[in-house]
Amino acid sequence: MARVILGVSAGIAAYKSASLLRLLREAGHRVRVIPTADALRFVGEPTWAALSGEPVATDVWTAVDEVAHVRLGQSADLVIVAPATADLLARAAAGMSGDLLTATLLTARCPVVLAPAMHTEMWEHPATTANVALLRKRGAIVIDPASGRLTGADTGPGRLPDPEELFAVVQALLARLIPAGNTVLAGNTVPAGNTVLAAGTVPAAASLAGRRVVISAGGTREELDPVRFLGNWSTGKQGYALARSAALRGAEVTVVAANVELPDPAGARVVRVVSARDMHAAMLAEAGIADAVVMTAAVADFRPVARSDSKIKKDGSQPDPIALTENPDILHDLAGRRAREGQEGQVVVGFAAETDPDPQAAQAKLARKGCDLLVVNPVGNGRGFGSADNEAVVYSREGSQTPIPRGSKEALAEVVWDLVAARLR
Ligand code: PMT
């Protein structure tokens, strides 16, 4: 159970934060909602009070005897402001403290997450860009808004990520808050005296600030006819956990997603594809400017030689066998592209789903694919595909093995990024 402050500023997306609040409460967290006065025009005080089970105030003149404007920030484990409007970002960047939310932001010593939502013009305005840069420099985690339909008929960057995604961000950050002396994130030890990691909650050495990463996720589909395909059970959960985690470490993240039905990962740009050949083209196009590429997608090795234009019907006779032809090996081609383009510093990571993992076979596969790291995870019997948990051994080009014990897909993502960050240094 953590003490979470949910700040809400005056954007139309405030209604999504009611769902976020529910998710946080259902996870057992104690949540204090601090709306701005104008935010209450969108969602009223009774909604926040009823869903949180806590009093709601917007100004510093309520419960003065409790010195709420100082106490709330000081005692929180995490503050998230969703939506964070352009005005709220400007006031936070200027260090203003005229209401309870901005005063709380000034007194908080815990991780602070800001989830901006506004019209594209406001998000792209140089004033907002400068405010976001300043807040990030000071340690706040600012999640890039999603792209899509905005309040009017317009579309573009500026949407608040889905509540499930914001909840996943909160959970991922809270999972990193651990007592001093404990070891987290594959070998990074919390300095004595600290109870939480530094402002961004990721040690500088493991940060991906300023890095560009491209991640493939999901399972490709190879069409047989207009209604059928050859596919697999990948849901994209592992890839999206990697994307979320990289965004929280400050990376610019692009996800090439094959048939994923999850909400877009917070802070990432999503390129949608269907087949292995689509993914091949998208990954090679995106990889050119990336510092790291990670292939978590389950890619069909083969596709039907021919796709029928009409639905294949049964006619009582024995059906023809499906003739298959080989798909391009994307991971292999990414490693080849890197060498060809002189981008030797780029880190290339593959995943391998194995029903019977074997170290020798893993090392041979890594060499065959030409990647730097191969994350070998056991699959089958409810493991790997679609599950919330995962476990793996990460093999490196140099021959090292890093076991990752069973835990959440987010926890596995953290270790992978630690290993990637170490190679990028
Ligand atoms: O999405 P989830 O439900 O969360 O499940 C996650 C996962 C189990 C799919 C994921 O953790 C995983 O193991 N992904 C790799 C699955 C896989 O296809 O492994 P593979 O052994 O077939 O391929 C090895 C590597 O080569 C992979 O990085 C794969 O993306 C890549 N590959 C494979 C074939 C191909 N034609 N091109 C490729 O790039």
CATH number at residue 32: 3.40.50.1950
Q: Catalytic pick from 131, 182, 194, 232?
A: 232
Domain that holds residue 273: 212-303+326-424
147 and 29 housed in the same domain: yes
Single-letter amino acid, residue 267: G
168 and 236 housed in the same domain: no
Q: Which residue has the tokens 């390129």?
A: 271
Residue 119 counted as domain residue: yes
pTM over 0.85: yes
286 and 146 housed in the same domain: no
257 and 115 housed in the same domain: no
- CB distance 330 to ligand 1 below 6 Å: yes
Residue 205 counted as domain residue: no
- CB distance 301 to ligand 1 below 6 Å: yes
Contact yes or no for 104/79 (Cβ under 8 A): yes
pLDDT of residue 263: 94
70 and 17 housed in the same domain: yes
105 and 241 housed in the same domain: no
Contact yes or no for 167/25 (Cβ under 8 A): no
Q: What is the DSSP letter of 229?
A: E
Residue 317 counted as domain residue: no
- Ligand 1 test: best mutation among 296, 327, 365, most atoms within 8 Å of CB? 296
258 and 139 housed in the same domain: no
231 and 156 housed in the same domain: no
CA distances from 425 to 168, 212, 236, 319, 346 (A): 28, 14, 28, 56, 11
- CB distance 410 to ligand 1 below 6 Å: no
Q: Which residue has the tokens 């815990």?
A: 110
Q: Give the C-alpha separation, 276 to 299, whole Å.
A: 6
166 and 217 housed in the same domain: no
Per-residue pLDDT of the chain (425 residues; tens, 9 = 90+): 899 999 999 999 999 999 999 999 999 999 999 999 999 999 999 999 999 999 999 999 888 888 878 889 999 999 999 999 999 999 999 999 999 999 999 999 999 999 999 999 999 999 999 999 999 999 999 999 998 888 877 888 999 999 999 999 999 999 887 543 443 333 333 333 333 334 456 777 778 999 999 999 999 999 999 999 999 999 999 999 999 999 999 999 999 999 999 999 999 999 999 999 999 999 999 999 999 999 999 999 999 999 999 999 988 888 889 999 999 999 999 999 999 999 999 999 999 999 999 999 999 999 999 999 999 999 988 899 999 999 999 999 999 999 999 999 999 999 999 999 999 98
pLDDT of residue 177: 79
Query: Smallest Cα–Cα separation from 141: which of 168, 119, 112, 171?
Result: 112
pLDDT of residue 91: 98
- Ligand 1 centroid vs 11 CA: distance in angstroms? 40
- CB distance 395 to ligand 1 below 6 Å: no
285 and 366 housed in the same domain: yes
Number of domains forming the structure of the chain: 2
Residue 411 counted as domain residue: yes
92 and 236 housed in the same domain: no
- Ligand 1 centroid vs 297 CA: distance in angstroms? 5
